[in-house]
Amino acid sequence: MILIILTFLCILTVNRIHSQIIEFYPVADTIFIAGGCTPPITNVSIGESQTLLDTIKIVPGWNTNIWTSYPEKDEYYDKAYYLVKDSLNIFNYELWIVHQESSFGDPILVPFDSTYEFYAYKFVFKLFVLNENIIIDSLEQNFIAKIGIGIETKNKTCNIPKGYILDQNYPNPFNSKTVIRFEIPFLSFVGISIYNVNGQLVENLKSEVYKPGIYTTTWNANRYNSGIYFIRLSSNKYYLNRKALLLK
């Protein structure tokens, strides 16, 4: 009996030693990612397993930068990553996006070796280390995503939109708030409005002159009933509509 207990304790000790998340780089409370013409894009991958360590990398994609902000200056990085000690090479990893506002929906499991697009909100990347589907270690890192701040990468430039575009709101369906993204090709007066299924105006969100670029706005629908609504972008002779589903 004593031998069995000692063996069990040894196994736990081995797992604890060989499944530790060592760090997240860069070391910062909050990391910013931003895109100029498009929402920020990251490529998420897991490095080739080494003798002792695995690296879960988050690399900025097209027209995207990653940086941390300090009082003195902003410091930019070509990648961010989790470093995991896994000398036994037997553990599995899961990377989740956990929104800090419930209106953006449930946590999202991000597949490795995939590209993910972010809209403007606060979230955490949370890494889990699993042994036979049991979580044995985890670490989360705060992120803030920004859209349309005029970033230009070394080899790619930010193009002015070629036409009026109204993207599908995100999330959709939603239960209180949803983000609306739209593109403006030239200086123009633009309205963003909400209509019900009977064609009646519910709310004017925006009504102003915009320079060429990509913009987002948020519709807070807390005071409205569940149902189907239509988001309309109007400018000059252009009218674009998207259907939004409010569920409470």
| Burial grade of 17 (CB within 10 A; 0-12, 13-18, 19 or more) | exposed
Q: In whole angstroms, give the CA distance from residue 203 to residue 61.
A: 36
Domain 165-246 part of CATH 2.60.40.1930: yes
Per-residue model confidence (pLDDT) at position 227? 95
- Evaluated on CA atoms 156, 115, 142, 80, the torsion sign reads negative
Per-residue model confidence (pLDDT) at position 13? 44
Q: In whole angstroms, give the CA distance from residue 41 to residue 186.
A: 25
Q: Hey, is 200 helix, strand or coil?
A: coil
User: Which of 126, 138, 131, 112 is CA-nearest to residue 21?
Assistant: 138
Query: Across the chain, which distance is largest between two alpha carbons, in Å?
Result: 83
Tell me where in the chain the CATH 2.60.40.1930 domain(s) lie.
165-246
Per-residue model confidence (pLDDT) at position 47? 76
Query: Would the pTM of this model clear 0.85, i.e. be above it?
Result: no
Structural element, H or E, at residue 58: strand 53-60
Would you state the structure tokens that stand for residue 59, as one six-digit string?
């690399």
Per-residue model confidence (pLDDT) at position 1? 43
Question: pLDDT 10s per residue in the chain (248 long)?
Answer: 443 333 333 444 444 445 689 999 999 999 999 887 677 889 999 876 666 788 999 998 877 889 998 776 788 899 999 999 876 667 889 999 998 877 677 899 999 998 888 877 899 999 999 988 899 899 999 999 987 665 554 444 555 677 888 999 989 999 889 999 898 887 788 999 999 999 999 999 999 988 777 788 999 999 999 999 999 999 877 899 999 999 98
Q: In whole angstroms, give the CA distance from residue 40 to residue 58.
A: 12
User: Which of 98, 121, 229 is CA-nearest to residue 174?
Assistant: 229
Amino acid identity for residue 35 in this structure = G
Q: In whole angstroms, give the CA distance from residue 91 to residue 15.
A: 9
- Evaluated on CA atoms 152, 37, 143, 96, the torsion sign reads negative
